[in-house]
Amino acid sequence: MPRSIKRNPLGEQVTDAIIELIAEQNLRAGDRLPSSNDLSDLLGVSVPVVREAMAGLAAIGLLERHQGRESTVATPNSSHLSRLLSLRVVGSSVDDEQLQQFREIVEVGNARLAARNRSEDDLVALDERLSLLSAAKTSEDLHEADVAFHAAVARATGNDLCELTLESLEPILWRLRRRVWNGWVNAGGGVTSIIEAHAVILRAIRAGDGDGAATAMSQHLAQARSGLDESLRKGDVAVAPKAGFPG
C-alpha cells in the first residue's frame, strides 16, 4: 500500500532536507554548511525560507550561526533535550508517577550496562560520589551527592545516550526528588539505608554483575517509590527539602 501523502509546511521540508544533507555528507561538529544562497539554489527555495529553517536548527542545537560566515554543524547537548522534555511534560500533563516510572526504566538499565562497561576511572569516580553521599550533613547535600552518583553510573555505561538522557532529565526530576525525600522522611525513612543502597549498587558494578546491579538499583528506586507513595497519600506537593535530617 502506498504511503499516505503528507503536505508538510515548506519550512519543515527545508529543515528535513538540511538534516539529510548533514547526514549524507557525514558532517561533524565544526564542519561548515553551504551558504544560505547555495542551499537556496540546491533546494529550490528562497533564501528567507532557508534562513528560517537554519534558525530553527540553531535553536535546537544542531547548528551554530556565525556573523559574516557560514553556519557550522553542532552537537545538541543536554540543555536542548531538557528544554524539549520539559515542554513535553508540561504540555501533556505528565505527573510524578509517570516520571518515577520513566526514571526506573532509565536508571535500572544504566546500572546493568555500567556493570558491563565500567572502567577503573569510573569506579574511582563512583567511590568519590559515594563518599560525598556518606558525608552529607543536610538534605540538599544529600540530594546533590545522589544526583552526582547516578550521573557517574550513567557515565560508566560508556554510552553517550545513557548519560545524555539522565542529564536531560535532571531539571525535570528536581521537584520529584524533593517530593520523594519529603515522603521518605514523613514515613520514618533515614539516611543510612539510602547510603547502603548506593553502596550495594556500587559493589555490583565493581564486580561486573549486571543483573545484581540492576536489582540493586531497582531496590534503591523502590525506596524512592515508597517516598513518593507516602507523599501522594498525604497530598504533599511541597518542592523544598523538608526541615531536618533524619538519622
Query: Cell numbers of 174, please?
Result: 528536581
Tell me the average pLDDT across 128-140.
92
Does the pLDDT of residue 204 top 80, yes or no?
yes
Q: Report residue 147 CA to chain centroid gap.
A: 11
Query: Cell numbers of 27, please?
Result: 558532517
3-state helix, strand, coil in the chain (%, to 5): 70, 5, 25
For the chain, the average pLDDT equals 86
Nearest to 245 by CA among 145, 175, 151: 145
Return the SS3 of 65: strand
Tell me the average pLDDT across 132-140.
91
pLDDT at 181 (0 to 100): 87
Query: With contact defined as beta carbons under 8 Å apart, do 191 and 246 qualify?
Result: yes
pLDDT at 4 (0 to 100): 40
| Residue with the larger pLDDT of the pair 9 and 154 | 154
66 secondary structure, DSSP code: E
Q: Give the ranges where 136-209 is alpha helix by DSSP (H).
A: 139-156, 160-186, 191-206
Tell me the average pLDDT across 58-67.
83
Where do the domains of the chain lie, and which CATH numbers do they carry? Answer: 10-73 (1.10.10.10), 79-234 (1.20.120.530)
Does the pLDDT of residue 68 top 90, yes or no?
no
Tell me the average pLDDT across 145-163.
95
pLDDT at 138 (0 to 100): 87
Q: Give the ranges where 25-159 is alpha helix by DSSP (H).
A: 36-43, 47-59, 78-92, 96-117, 120-135, 139-156
Query: With contact defined as beta carbons under 8 Å apart, do 29 and 65 qualify?
Result: no
| Residue with the larger pLDDT of the pair 181 and 217 | 217
pLDDT category of residue 247 using cuts at 50, 70 and 90: very low
Instruction: Look up cell 536489582; give the residue.
Output: 215
- Residue 63: φ, ψ to 5°: -130, 155
Query: With contact defined as beta carbons under 8 Å apart, do 153 and 110 qualify?
Result: yes
Does the pLDDT of residue 7 top 70, yes or no?
no
